[in-house]
Structure 1
């Protein structure tokens, strides 16, 4: 079979791929690991299919499946006696645990593994009330963190970022607040739009991939769309005129809001543009500059040294001081793998004609 043409729905309708997701068949696990190693271009699609499969089946993962497997066997032994042969989930007829799932609204077909015996075990357990406490995640300077949300969506947080879920996330809503930078891979759910609140804008989405950069001290708030469609509303009483008409962002476009720009001019009824929509930036290596950070690449495209210093602070957890104000306007274009900070400074120094001194966690550029 030509798996190279598979999309998300095709993977979800392949029985061996479902066995790979739950790790119930060692041969399937080996086959798909080997196949994905040989076809890295399909890794992202396969990963989306795997995460969607878990979501459609109550967030059952390979880990929870095997855990419940052991719990069930223990429960049967305890109830029926040691002389009863322990059941093996992996030996049951395939027809007893595979169920086809169809999502008609988007014509998306998906197949999931559901083991009836698990529900027997869970029905005997005391129901636990839904968790009502607000969840939050944070990353210190110099660190990144990947978070899987309760709805199956995945967020990668850059250094110095904070993410907070609203109470009732994935039950009554799918809303959260972000300070800093996050890359979102959102699970589709038309009934519950995924909404990201930042200080300046609100982003509404129903299932896509996008990057949000909303550090409080930055000059601009940005949203870069990779796949899908998002709707952006500008917040604040000063932006009421613009906020009434949401901006619909198309793939490969970037929304940029100048945080401290005035909302209107002196002439009544005339509103100055406070935001812009541009193409995302593609590097010479055909990567996306706005999301290179998720691949541990530090990318600058015609950026001033003052902004590069801020990014270095977030990446390495250091303090950067530019002692000579004239150096702030030096512009650089470069891509670095996440390596030693000294190597990056040396490379910038060669083309920027400046010096620096490193003292513990402080970099002084002069």
Structure 2
């Protein structure tokens, strides 16, 4: 049969050592196109062959090694002696594959590392220069395979993920049974275990937000995807322009109620802020770029004619209200 295992091994061996004809190369390509597993088998074989000579075996001679094995076989049965005229190199490949198995298993293992943020935002850079910024009380566990150029980022909490434009690694993000497949570059994942929802906000590019049992949704820049745990459904909403403010300290408020503004500032800066009087529904339009909380509140106070009072435990904002 055309695709018998022995025939495939012969094709792969010839291909790796450069002895395959054009017809044989076409046959091998056809076999690889049948399934991802076939392509992976070829890729793994090439990798093993190229990396089989360990540092203390730089002068490894495949022909001599094979001759030694062949002579041992001959001692047991002279009639089964193997000859390797033009196939010496190809035969040595099979020997290399066998004796390199443990080396290959060790080399191909995924790296695993974990980042934990508690009371502050934490930014870490992954081996391919992908940047992950953890909001407070968040955890990221990373599984990374350098050889395969693949990785999984497990998220618990809130994380901003910035993948370089070069995109050298195929990253997938996972939180519980939900998955985010990166097709773009910058997106935020909000997945606190006790929350009833999981949110994915895309700043640049495109991502696919789905589960192990559902196709999910495609999100583009400026969109937010929400998964409702109670109903097991996905839906879209307009992205919050301040979703990454916990990292950037950049804010953009347009006709936003003061109470919502203060709630967000209180959460990000970790300070208790109370509003006194009927001012919570007053609307505010303003932008801030990486300012200290005191500066932001001072500008809000001047803009809206409000009084700001500081004490050791909290900040109080008071005024006459809106008209």
Q: Which residue of 2 aligns with 1:253?
A: 222
Q: 1:188 to 1:275 in 2, by over 3 A?
A: same
1:313-328 → structure 2 map (5 Å cutoff):
313-322=266-275, 326-328=278-280
1:82-161 → structure 2 map (5 Å cutoff):
123=55, 134-138=113-117, 140-141=119-120, 144-158=121-135, 160-161=136-137
Cα deviation, 1:208-266, whole Å, max 9, x if unaligned, reads 2223344678897543323332101269xxxxxxx72310112x231143868x639xx
Query: Where in structure 1 are there 5+ consecutive unaligned residues?
Result: 1-118, 236-242, 265-272, 282-287
- In 1, distance between residues paired with 2:281 and 2:227? 18
- Preserved contact between residue 217 and residue 234 of structure 2 (Cα < 8 Å): no
- In 1, distance between residues paired with 2:309 and 2:172? 43
Cα deviation, 1:306-339, whole Å, max 9, x if unaligned, reads 4323332344332223455x54433322211323
The structure with the largest alpha-carbon Rg is: 2
Q: 1:328 to 1:290 in 2, by over 3 A?
A: same
Q: 1:323 to 1:218 in 2, by over 3 A?
A: farther
**1:170 corresponds to which of 128, 134, 145:** 145
Q: 1:204 to 1:230 in 2, by over 3 A?
A: same
Q: Which residue of 1 aligns with 2:236?
A: 276
Q: Which residue of 2 aligns with 1:33?
A: none
- Preserved contact between residue 181 and residue 212 of structure 1 (Cα < 8 Å): yes
- In 1, distance between residues paired with 2:222 and 2:115? 29
Q: Give 1 or 2: higher strand fraction.
A: 2
Q: Which residue of 1 aligns with 2:160?
A: 182
- Preserved contact between residue 178 and residue 197 of structure 1 (Cα < 8 Å): no
1:268-307 → structure 2 map (5 Å cutoff):
275-278=235-238, 290-291=243-244, 294-307=247-260
- Preserved contact between residue 245 and residue 268 of structure 2 (Cα < 8 Å): no
**TM-score normalised over the length of structure 1:** 0.46
Report SS of the residue matched to 2:300.
helix
- Preserved contact between residue 292 and residue 299 of structure 1 (Cα < 8 Å): no
**1:226 corresponds to which of 203, 210, 220:** 203
Q: 1:309 and 2:262 equivalent?
A: yes
1:351-366 → structure 2 map (5 Å cutoff):
351-352=303-304, 354-366=306-318
Report SS of the residue matched to 1:343.
helix
- In 2, distance between residues paired with 1:214 and 1:138? 14
Report SS of the residue matched to 1:339.
coil
- In 2, distance between residues paired with 1:136 and 1:291? 18
Report SS of the residue matched to 1:135.
strand
Q: Which residue of 2 aligns with 1:89?
A: none
Q: Which residue of 1 aligns with 2:283?
A: 331
Report SS of the residue matched to 2:127.
coil
**TM-score normalised over the length of structure 2:** 0.51
- In 1, distance between residues paired with 2:309 and 2:193? 28
Query: Where in structure 2 are there 5+ consecutive unaligned residues?
Result: 1-50, 57-102, 319-323
Q: Deviation of residue 204 (structure 1)?
A: 1.6
Number of residue pairs matched by the alignment:
213
- Larger RCO (CA within 8 A; separation ≥ 6): 1
- In 2, distance between residues paired with 1:306 and 1:222? 22
Report SS of the residue matched to 1:152.
coil
- Preserved contact between residue 171 and residue 182 of structure 2 (Cα < 8 Å): yes
Cα deviation, 1:107-139, whole Å, max 9, x if unaligned, reads xxxxxxxxxxxx9xx947xx9997866412315
